[in-house]
Structure 1
Amino acid sequence: MVQRMTELDPSRKNLKDHLLTHAVRTGDFVLKSGRKSNWFIDGKQTACHPQGIKLVADIILSEIEGIDAIGGLTMGADPVAYGVAAIAADRGQPLRSFSIRKEAKDHGVEGRIAGALYKGDRVAIMEDVVTRGVSPLEAAEVVRAFGAEPVMIIAIVDRGGTCEAMAKQAELKFFPLLTAPDLGFEYEGP
């Protein structure tokens, strides 16, 4: 299980504050899995916000090395991957981005990959929020089938607490920027 120090570093503390202000809602919600929860996080409210994506990118870019491209399943990965790659370019760090379509196209550029992913790339699979970990693992399989090498899964928030074990089974590192407990909630995995 992802371990945290007693206190978050300043970058993660700022990200936590942004998420709690802009992305976390309490009430009665039904999750993608069909389970009910008393809290919901819309990671795109941070990923699509100028200060939010900068906070996310600052943490990711300080932690990843040797990664050629970042991306994942559309929609959860898109704003994060594109934003992080743009900020990386401004800093002189070469990092490309891509999306994985829900279904393969049968016209134009065919297949599920859209964007600047090349065979042989070392890839960070991105997701805004993971609960069970199914989506990023699906993305990793699509990337492998394409001929690139997924090496890690990055999530803005791990709300489920189960993705780390699943990633390890798939021989991938798991790197959540924050966890549900960091935000003051219990894990809600399967």
Structure 2
Amino acid sequence: MADTQQEFADFLVDSNVVEFGDFTLKSGRKSPYFFNFGKLSSAYLLNKTAWFYARFITEKKLSPDIIFGPAYKGTPLGVAISLSLQRDFNTEISYSFNRKEKKSYGDGGTIVGSPLANKKIVTVDDVLTSGMTVDDSIRLIREEVGIPTAYIVALDRQERGNSGVDSALCEAENRLNINIHSITTISHILKNLAKSPTNVEQVKKIQDYLTDFGVEG
């Protein structure tokens, strides 16, 4: 599992998904880095990312019935992961995603793809910062009578949540009574960045940020 975490972190850095600058996060915090999942927009990068998720799902033996990709970034990701599970890991799994607004005509409803009712659902998303997006997805799945068994994000920023003590990930797990996994963490990203002396300034800024807002471990 440790190999998967570092390999994925290396891939994300090499793909320039980690951007440096001055960013305002959904939580309102000012961050010296941003995880720009939108850069994984080529077929190769999306396929490779989906393969890491599929590998993680297989290694963890999560065995969902459906991969759910919340709109918008999770939608192509969820489809690509389902394809990778079938193609690369010989595992047939359906997929679903949601509309941002409920459709009142045609097929109607909020869910597109496989119905969620009474199915084991693994939700896939990009990054966990405050945990607010997780609440919306799990609430929707439960409203559709689905069974949320796990939530997977690419990166855990390892930041404190609203309590100021526990991580946002742990807070969301406890609040929603669901297992939340991250394929990699900002610690693994920092390990990659520290290999090059040209990244000294960026590493220092991220370390200072984590001193203010991060959690241990």
Asked if TM exceeds 0.5, the reply is yes
Are residues 1:181 and 2:187 paired?
yes
Letter paired with 1:24: V
1:24-74 Cα shifts (integer Å, max 9, x gaps): 011111223333211000124347513333233222332143311111321
Equivalent position of 1:87 in the other structure: 84
The 3 A distance-change label for structure 1 pair 47 and 9 is: farther
Gaps of 5+ in 1: 1-7
* Higher fraction of helix: 2
> For 1:10, which of 3, 11, 20 is the aligned residue?
3
Equivalent position of 2:126 in the other structure: 128
Are residues 1:45 and 2:43 paired?
no
> For 1:108, which of 94, 99, 106 is the aligned residue?
106
> For 1:158, which of 156, 159, 180 is the aligned residue?
156
* Identical counterparts, % of pairs: 21
Report how far residue 82 of structure 1 moved: 1.1
Task: Please list every run of at least 4 consecutive aligned residues from structure 1 whose deviation after the TM superposition is greater than 6 angstroms.
Answer: none
RMSD over equivalenced CA pairs, Å: 2.1
Equivalent position of 2:30 in the other structure: 36
TM-score of the superposition, structure 1-length normalised? 0.85
Aligned partners of 1:15 and 1:56 also within 8 Å: no
Larger radius of gyration: 2
Report how far residue 175 of structure 1 moved: 0.8
Equivalent position of 1:147 in the other structure: 145
Report how far residue 10 of structure 1 moved: 2.3
Number of residue pairs matched by the alignment: 182
TM-score of the superposition, structure 2-length normalised? 0.75
Equivalent position of 1:3 in the other structure: none
Q: Secondary structure at the match of 1:34?
A: coil
Letter paired with 2:171: A
Gaps of 5+ in 2: 160-166, 191-205
